[in-house]
Copies of this chain bind each other. A is one copy, B any other.
Amino acid sequence: MSGGAREPGRSVTSKVLAVLGAFDAAHPQLTLTELAARSGLPLSTTHRLVRELEEWQALGRAPDGRLRVGPRLWELGHLAPNRLQELAHPWLQDLFGSTGENVHLAVRDGLEVLYVDKVYGRRAVPIVSRIGGRLPMHPTGVGKALLAYEPDWFVTSYLARKLERPTSHTITEPGRLARELAAVRAQGYALTYEEMTPGSCSAAAPVLVAGRPVAALGIVLSSRRARELPRLVEPLRAAAAGIAGAYGS
């Protein structure tokens, strides 16, 4: 038999979405073969879909010929209204203006933090967070700030899993992490030291609206400057409170 019998029960739309969904922060560019493997589709099917998506500029090519998200999706993505970001951005900007440090805003999405906005200047420490990117909660400042205000059942189930350990400073022992979160709740902000990336440390404060952690505001600097963090906590909390006030109304 030469003709292909179609695999039953899968819509074309879902295949298009599988192709798009194969791209993520860890795999921003892929070869056709990788894309086929990641989307679970036969190579020839992937090839045809890619060609159409490329024609529409939904996908593009990196200089080396690998596939990546194209300009049309970039444009489309920016159409998604994001009330939180629009409203919070001026505060991030102010905070950046008064401190000169990397500032970012994140929300919880599932068991991860999703970065929603980021402001950085010329002499920024290179940091891992990028807008639209995701990181686990327990090694990040914003993650801890958010997690500390989640209900107990959520925290318990979060801690019950095997926790990733990106650096040797990452706290993964459930008891210690639980105590850490209690401290965050008590003082109203979280601190990290090289728990996610060697060489950087951070402070973060939750944006609490009616007691619910709708977002967290974080500030990141080189770990050599860790002792400057305490000075930054007050402006950080003030900005977080400002965002909370604006968001609540």
Contacts and interface: CB of A to CB of B under 8 A. Distances in A.
Given A93-B119, A93-B122, A69 B76 contact: yes
Interface string A50-78: 00110010101010000011111111111
Nearest to A118: B89
A44 to B, nearest CB: 14
Interface in A60-112: 60, 62, 68-82, 89-91, 93-94, 96-97
Given A74-B80, A77-B78, A79-B68, A52 B90 contact: no
Contacts of A11: 12, 52
A25 interface: yes
A2 interface: no
A90 B16 contact: no
B96 A93 contact: yes
A122 to B, nearest CB: 4
Nearest to A29: B81
A120 interface: yes
Contact of A81 (B28, B49, B79, B120): B28
Nearest to A130: B78
Contact of A93 (B23, B49, B121): B121
Interface in A115-147: 119-122, 124, 130-133
Nearest to A59: B80
A184 interface: no
Interface string A20-50: 1101110011000000000000000000010
B56 A17 contact: yes
Given A122-B91, A122-B94, A131 B81 contact: no
Nearest to A20: B76
Given A49-B13, A52-B11, A97 B121 contact: yes
Given A13-B16, A52-B17, A74-B77, A90 B131 contact: no
Given A60-B80, A90-B122, A90-B124, 10 more contacts: A13-B16, A13-B52, A13-B53, A69-B79, A75-B77, A76-B132, A78-B130, A78-B132, A94-B121, A94-B122
Sorted from nearest, which 3 A-B pairs have the closest CB atoms? A77-B77, A78-B132, A12-B12
